[in-house]
Amino acid sequence: MSQGVRGTRDFYPEDMRLRNWLFDNFTNASLLHGFEEYDAPVLEYEELYTRKQGEEITQQLYSFQDKGNRKVALRPEMTPSLARMVMARAGGLPMPIKWFSIPQCWRYERTQRGRGREHYQWNVDIWGTTEISADAELISVLVTFFEGIGLTAKDIVIRVSSRKVLEEVLGSLGLEGDIFAQTCIIVDKMDKLSSDVIEDQLSDLGHDSKVVTTIQAVLGIKDMNSLQKALKDESVAVSELNLLFDAIDSYGISEWVEFDASIVRGLAYYTGAVFEAHDRTGEFRAICGGGRYDKLLSTLGGKDLPATGFGFGDMVIMELLAEKGLIPELVSDIDDIVIPLNSDLRNAAVMVAASLRNSGRTVDLVLEDKKMKWAFKHAERIGAARLVLLAPDEWSRKMVKIKDLDTGEESEISLKDI
Ligand code: 4JL
């Protein structure tokens, strides 16, 4: 019974310190840009995720029937819950809304590979505006976060494109609608699967070899000039991307961002700008990804509202930080350890601890008879700033001994001055 459910993680206090540090950085970058936090239940009706485009995320749903025979699922992503919440208040929310959340998300793979089945995924979304400036704002949130945890544009690249690139190319060949979304889901796997497998899947979709070659050629474009030449003069993809790169320039974050037509993302609902952050060495999977999804609500039976957002998992980023030696050394934030030197002084120690706590200091009170040696070790382990000693001599004069653990300096303070 000492093992948890397969694919889940425990967070011991040292893990929790690190997780909180990461989440604090997620939260700070969001709040700094004026986003408000929201939450939703981890359990949703399975129906919220039934999409037919062969996405990995819906093939790996952690779903089951509850005791009332309702088909439910642990959320694999936050966006459908957010869409549900927005839809429920349609008309009642002053737009645009800028919301963020750090939900735990779940997957269930039929193939057993010892992979994780849950992670936390920071979600940042803007609803109610079609302006590409919203997409630029999201990229600024990302850069602020990366800078906050000590990464630079030398470590990270945010690759940007638009679904409209492939949409325009396939559209000119008379291919649109569901086949477009399905094509995106296949080409998203280009860096994971061999080109033979990708070509087979595209031809299974009905694309002939000429179309496959065209798709490959377009997705190989890595600069805006070549894209401009490849698409029509009046290309909406090109004009929107130009606006996006102008805005990114104004934020002063251009060195973080590159155009890359191979970015399409593996979710069916994206309609416009799409982006992913990667480590520059290319050693890791995508760190995060997102984009515009202006048509999601109609697929859920509502009236469409423009939206853009990203999801950012807690695993790849920690692997990258570990590799770069950027995991911070975190200690618990205890100010004082109060220790009675014999059991007669325990209640005196309680009084001292209580008044320190009332003054706002964080205090660990030693609850049993412990030796000084233990107290010093304990103080070092938890990174406390001071030891507060209750000794018989001093206490008879209503004084306590204080040792500053940084400087080693010792002093006496009266109970009333504590
Ligand atoms: Cl661990 C994990 C859980 C859910 C990884 C991916 C997903 C799907 O977003």
Q: What pLDDT sits at residue 332?
A: 86
Give me ligand 1 centre to Cα 117, in Å: 6
Residue 114 has pLDDT above 90, yes or no: no
Cα end-to-end distance, the chain, whole Å: 46
Q: Helix axis angle, 178-187 relative to 163-172, nearest 10°? A: 120
Q: Is the CB of 116 under 6 A from ligand 1?
A: yes
Q: What is the pLDDT of residue 66?
A: 98
Ligand 1 center to residue 416 CA distance, Å?
A: 55
Distance 36 CA to ligand 1 centre (A): 24
Q: Ligand 1 center to residue 99 CA distance, Å?
A: 21
CA 122-123-128 angle, to 5 degrees, is 165
Angle formed by the axes of helices 163-172 and 236-251, nearest 10°: 170
Mean pLDDT, residues 338-346: 95
Ligand 1 test: best mutation among 82, 106, 108, 310, most atoms within 8 Å of CB? 106
Residue 111 has pLDDT above 90, yes or no: no
Q: Is 42 in the pocket of ligand 1 (CB under 6 A)?
A: no
Atom 6 of ligand 1: nearest residue by CA position: 107
d(Cα 292, Cα 296) in Å, to the nearest integer?
10
CATH of domain 13-323: 3.30.930.10
Task: Give the C-alpha separation, 336 to 280, whole Å.
Answer: 43
Q: State yes or no: pLDDT of 112 exceeds 80.
A: no
**Identity at 24, one-letter amino acid code:** D
Residue 173 and residue 61 in contact, taking contact as beta carbons nearer than 8 Å: no
> Does the CB atom of residue 402 touch ligand 1 within 6 A?
no
Q: Let me know if the fold of 13-323 is the same as that of 336-417.
A: no
By CB atoms closer than 10 A (0-12, 13-18, 19+), residue 4 is: exposed
Pocket flag, ligand 1, residue 315 (CB < 6 Å): no
Ligand 1 touching residue 346 (CB < 6 A)? no
Task: Express as a percent the part of the chain with pLDDT over 70.
Answer: 100
Is there an atom of ligand 1 within 6 Å of 314 CB? no
- Please provide residue 403's backbone torsions phi and psi, each rounded to the nearest 5 degrees: -115, 120
119 CA: nearest ligand 1 atom: 1
Per-residue pLDDT at 231: 96
CA distances from 255 to 102, 150, 237, 249, 316 (A): 27, 16, 22, 9, 22
The answer, yes or no, to whether any atom of ligand 1 lies below 6 A from the CB of 106, is: yes
- Average pLDDT taken over every residue of the chain: 96
Closest ligand 1 atom, residue 117 Cα: 1
Q: Evaluate the omega torsion of the peptide bond into residue 96 and state whether it is cis, within 30 degrees of 0.
A: yes
> For position 227, what pLDDT does the model report?
98
Provide the token pair at 248: 């990114």
- The pLDDT of 388-403, averaged and rounded, is 95
Lowest-confidence pick of 107-111, 198-202, 248-252: 107-111
pLDDT given at position 148: 98
The answer to whether 372 and 351 are in contact (CB under 8 A) is no
Average pLDDT, integer, range 183-194: 92
Q: Report residue 414's pLDDT band, with 50, 70 and 90 as the boundaries.
A: very high
Domain segments of the chain: what residues?
Answer: 13-323, 336-417
Ligand 1 atom with the smallest distance to the CA of 116 is 1
pLDDT of the residue at 46 = 98
What pLDDT score does 328 carry? 97
**Topology of domain 336-417, CATH:** Rossmann fold (3.40.50)
pLDDT-derived band at 202, boundaries 50, 70, 90:
very high
Cα of 9 vs centre of ligand 1, distance in Å, is 13
Residue 128 Cα to ligand 1 middle (Å): 27
Structure tokens belonging to residue 38: 């929201």
117 lines ligand 1 (CB under 6 A): yes
Q: Is 80 in the pocket of ligand 1 (CB under 6 A)?
A: no
How are beta strands 363-365 and 386-390 bridged, if at all?
Answer: unpaired
CA distance 263 to 290: 10
> Using a 6 Å cutoff on CB, does residue 51 contact ligand 1?
no
Structure confidence at residue 191 as a pLDDT band (50, 70, 90): confident
57 Cα nearest atom in ligand 1: 8
* pLDDT of 415 over the 90 cut: no
CB of 285 sitting under 6 A from ligand 1: no
Q: Are 221 and 180 in contact (CB under 8 A)?
A: no
pLDDT of 364-380, one tens digit each?
A: 999 999 998 999 999 98
The residue whose C-alpha atom lies closest to atom 2 belonging to ligand 1 is: 118
**Cβ of residue 184 lying under 6 Å from some atom of ligand 1:** no
Q: Which two tokens stand for residue 9?
A: 């993680």
Atom of ligand 1 nearest to the CA of 7: 1
pLDDT of residue 72: 98
Which residues on neighbouring strands pair with residue 339, listed in sequence order? 389
Ligand 1 center from residue 259 Cα (angstroms): 26
Are 341 and 392 in contact, with CB atoms under 8 Å apart? Answer: yes
Q: Are strands 156-162 and 257-259 parallel, antiparallel or unpaired?
A: parallel
pLDDT of residue 417: 87
List beta partners, residue 175.
none
Q: Per residue, what are the HEC states of the chain?
A: CCCCCCCCCCCCHHHHHHHHHHHHHHHHHHHHCCCEECCCCCEEEHHHHCCCCCCHHHHCCEEEECCCCCEEEECCCCHHHHHHHHHHCCCCCCCCEEEEECCEEECCCCCCCCCCCEEEEEEEEEECCCCHHHHHHHHHHHHHHHHHCCCCCCCEEEEEEEHHHHHHHHHHCCCCCHHHHHHHHHHCCCCCCCHHHHHHHHHHCCCCHHHHHHHHHHHCCCCHHHHHHHCCCCCHHHHHHHHHHHHHHHHCCHHHEEECCCCCCCCCCCCCEEEEEEECCCCCCCCEEEEECCCHHHHCCCCCCCEEEEEEECCHHHHHHHHCCCCCCCCCCCCEEEEECCHHHHHHHHHHHHHHHHCCCCEEECCCCCCHHHHHHHHHHHCCCEEEEECHHHHHCCEEEEEECCCCCEEEEEHHHC
Enter the tokens of residue 128.
Answer: 């109610």
